[in-house]
Amino acid sequence: MVSYKELGLVNSRAMFAKAVKGGYAIPAYNFNNMEQLQAIIQACVETRSPVILQVSSGARKYANATMLRYMAQGAVAYAKELGYPIPIVLHLDHGDSFELCKDCIENGFSSVMIDGSHRPYDENVALTKKVVEFAHTYDVTVEGELGILAGIEDEVSAEHSTYTQPEEVIDFVTKTGVDSLAISIGTSHGATKFKPEQCTRSANGVLIPPPLRFDILEAIEKKLPGFPIVLHGASSVPMDFVGIINRYGGAMKDAVGIPEDQLRKAAKSAVCKINIDSDARIAMTALVRKVLAEHPGEFDPRKYLGPAREALKELLKRKNTEVLGSAGQA
């Protein structure tokens, strides 16, 4: 058993309480490798932002559980070395079983998500409650989910989104004891969040997605005043990077994300954790494609992963400062 406390990590409880009161959201950035982790820590230290380092089960298989534990410990030390020890959470993203959550808790995670959103309601309650009971004995915080996002959630696929039903949230939170609740109000995972026919087109051909269901968010907030709400699928899919990818041999057709003004609005509400993965993937891929296309003889990974890391860092700094409002809150 390795406790997250030995690694210098924190759980999300105090972080969320402060964010809900302060009207901003904590960035929850997914990572799979060293360059992504370095970019996240550099960006959050430079903007003085707390951060949630997020690992999917796929990322855990890719990076290895033991490596991840030391990477998280390294991230804490690295932030200190950079001159500002920000609070860091290590969080399991979309945990799909009690066993996976338990394994993460026993290997240094300070927070886990148990995603029973695709199961029947009573099963979701029972599974989430079981994880909460185990996690809380180790002072680990737990995120549950109600409602299904359209698109791919790790290995769980949901063809159509089912919005969270505000009538269910009090019962779910009371019965399970979760510390935060992920909801479905129109976001979805990946880089093509909406079909072109669901969007309108601006004069210059840019796809404009349908707005998020802020009415549902408000109804949930009324039912659970001050309770931490989580927004998944919150990448904006920046068109400048998508353009670079397409210019240098990529094929990201009809990519469309959540407009930043909507995320800003959500961050000012009870939404206190905003999940971003695709944007980081897009920024890194854009730079890797560009460097390799411009320098076809290059074969040193540092020469293309270095610029990719730098682009990612700048993107995340901007998000913390201009979208989530977490800058200066560490």
- Binding residues for ligand 13P, per CB under 6 A? 30, 93-94, 189-190, 232-235, 275-279
Cα separation, 86 vs 187, in Å, equals 28
Containing 85, the helix (H) or strand (E) segment is: none
CA dist list (Å): 250 to 68, 245, 247? 30, 5, 7
Q: Name the DSSP letter for residue 198.
A: G
- 58 interacts with, out of ligand G3H, ligand 13P, Zn ion, none, CB within 5 to 8 A per kind: ligand G3H
Of residues 232, 289, 290, 319, which one binds Zn ion by CB under 5 A?
232
Query: Any catalytic annotation for residue 139?
Result: no
Q: For residue 118, state whether it binds ligand G3H (rule: CB under 6 A).
A: no
Of residues 69, 91, 129, 189, which one binds ligand G3H by CB under 6 A?
189
> Which residue shows structure tokens 């993203």?
93
Which residues does 322 contact at the CB level (< 8 Å), separation at least 6?
260, 264
Give 79 or 257: the residue with its C-beta nearer to Zn ion: 257
Q: CA-based angle 125:129:134, to the nearest 5?
A: 160
Q: Name the DSSP letter for residue 212.
A: P
Q: For residue 145, state whether it binds ligand G3H (rule: CB under 6 A).
A: no
Of residues 277, 279, 320, 326, which one binds ligand G3H by CB under 6 A?
277
Q: For residue 60, state whether it binds ligand G3H (rule: CB under 6 A).
A: no
Give 94 or 273: the residue with its C-beta nearer to ligand G3H: 94
53-61, 99-107, 160-168, 201-209 -> range binding ligand G3H (CB under 6 A): 53-61
Q: For residue 91, state whether it binds Zn ion (rule: CB under 5 A).
A: no
Closest CA to 234 of 17, 29, 40, 55: 29
Q: How remote is the C-alpha of 168 from its chain's centroid? A: 24
CA dist list (Å): 187 to 36, 164, 198, 233? 23, 12, 13, 5
Of the residues 93, 96, 179, 279, only one is catalytic, namely 93
| Binding residues for ligand G3H (CB under 6 A) | 30, 56, 58-59, 93-94, 153-154, 189, 277
| Binding residues for Zn ion (CB under 5 A) | 232, 275
